[in-house]
Chain A
Amino acid sequence: MANIKHHLTDEILMGYSAGSLPEAFNLMVAAHVSLCDECRARLAAFDSVGGAVLDETCADAAPMKDDALAATLALIAGGPMDGAAPAPRKPGVLPKPLQDYIGGDLEAIRWRSAGLGVKQAILQTSPDASARLLLIPAGAAMPDHGHGGLEMTMVLQGAFVDDGERFGRGDVEIATEDLDHTPVADIGEDCICLAVTDAPLKFKSLLPRIAQPFLRI
């Protein structure tokens, strides 16, 4: 298991457990928890809170219809709804939830240039937030940008340094509106990250700002 130092927040884990996050954020949580035993245990604790809320607070809630049990037994007699077992994870860099979105490991990613040697691949999620993979060449910087909302970036391969902090495989950097940051990829190898955001990134120099709607980053 990777030596992960930068974890998900309580708010994000609780949102995942409650089912109130956009799909792109759920993907980030599923990918991180696949790599991080600590957050897996914390998530189990939040699920237990959900179980306790279900158990405790709905005691006199909505009664079922009179024929509900019979209807459910009839449903059961029809067999399970979801048939096929999920495909096993292929060996590689990407955690299973990401492989499911991409249809394979790194070799299946369809990169597009995002300028300055940076490449990206946008993942298909619900439109309330976006998820993409980023490839930053070893030693190169991400374009300077601020944020309109919440952005989380998790390293999948290589590492980056931002503001003196090092982020390696499985580490998540959480950036909010007030943070201007410039992650720089570690010199060792190209850095591949999963980045999710609930708002379009704002670039500071004129050119990327004009280009932004076209690049969708």
Chain B
Amino acid sequence: MTSNEQTARNDWLDQIERVRDHRDQAAFAELFGYFAPRIKGFLMKSGSDATLAEECAQDVMATLWHKAHLFDPARASVATWIFTIARNRKIDLLRKQKRPEPEDLPWGPEAEPAQDDVLALQQESEQLRQALTRLPAAQRELIERAYFGDLSHSEIAAETGLPLGTIKSRIRLALDRLRHEMK
């Protein structure tokens, strides 16, 4: 898995660009091999069965192909962008709700984002990923559950038996720590 892990430390920008500019299926296959099982796992932890999660992960990856030109590396990492597509698909499919989205910011004068901004954003995303792995297990688990579990804080409280106040303060601590590490 070393090669896979090393690619992971890569930011996947090259692959996205090749998909966007050259409809490059080999680049897409690399993205697919890394992200599709993660999306599927994400959806199964959100309460989906394996069949629906598989189908949905394929949808998300197809969306990535079609919308590659909308990805802005100065605003999000590839993992974050894929996360938002998967989350929206989850709300569509599992909860059958509309998903109101904020109004997009008006486009600036330059079409291509500045390289400095891209670099800074991608580095911060990597720092955040590392900071998450360094959180104490109890805090990290609650953050993960909040994202994967499709559960509100009070539902997590009911499921874990932890008082709601404890959950809220652990999540707050975790967020404080992430913020501190990002300074």
A residues engaging B (CB < 8 A)? Answer: 10-11, 14-15, 17-21, 23, 26-27, 29-31, 33-34, 40, 43-44, 47-59, 61-65, 68-69, 71-73, 75-76, 79-81, 89, 95-97, 100-101, 125-126
Contacts and interface: CB of A to CB of B under 8 A. Distances in A.
22 contacts: A19-B90, A20-B149, A20-B151, A30-B100, A30-B101, A34-B103, A40-B105, A47-B80, A48-B80, A52-B129, A53-B83, A53-B144, A54-B38, A55-B38, A56-B129, A58-B39, A61-B45, A64-B54, A65-B54, A68-B58, A97-B102, A125-B98
Q: Which of A31, A33, A71, A75 has the most CB of B within 10 A?
A: A75
Contacts of B144: 53, 57
Contact of A11 (B79, B80, B98, B153): B153
A63 B86 contact: no
Given A30-B100, A33-B102, A75-B58, A48 B65 contact: no
A61 B103 CA distance: 34
Contacts of A17: 87, 147
Contacts of B90: 19
A68 B152 contact: no
B97 A10 contact: no
Contacts of A19: 87-88, 90-91, 95, 99, 150
B97 to A, nearest CB: 5
A71 B79 CA distance: 22
A76 B65 CA distance: 7
A30 B102 CA distance: 4
Nearest to B151: A20
B99 to A, nearest CB: 6
Contacts of A79: 66
Given A20-B149, A49-B178, A81-B66, 10 more contacts: A11-B171, A23-B99, A33-B102, A34-B103, A44-B76, A49-B147, A51-B79, A53-B143, A54-B35, A64-B57
A51 B97 contact: no
Main secondary structure, interface of B, reads: helix
A11 B83 contact: no
Closest 6 CB pairs of A and B: A61-B41, A51-B80, A96-B103, A58-B38, A58-B41, A30-B100
B12 to A, nearest CB: 10
Interface residues of B, number: 72
B100 A54 contact: no
A126 B91 CA distance: 12
Contacts of A53: 83, 132, 143-144, 147-148
Given A33-B102, A50-B80, A62 B66 contact: no
B133 interface: yes
Interface string B132-172: 11000000000110111111110000000000000010011
A62 B87 contact: no
B97 A23 contact: yes
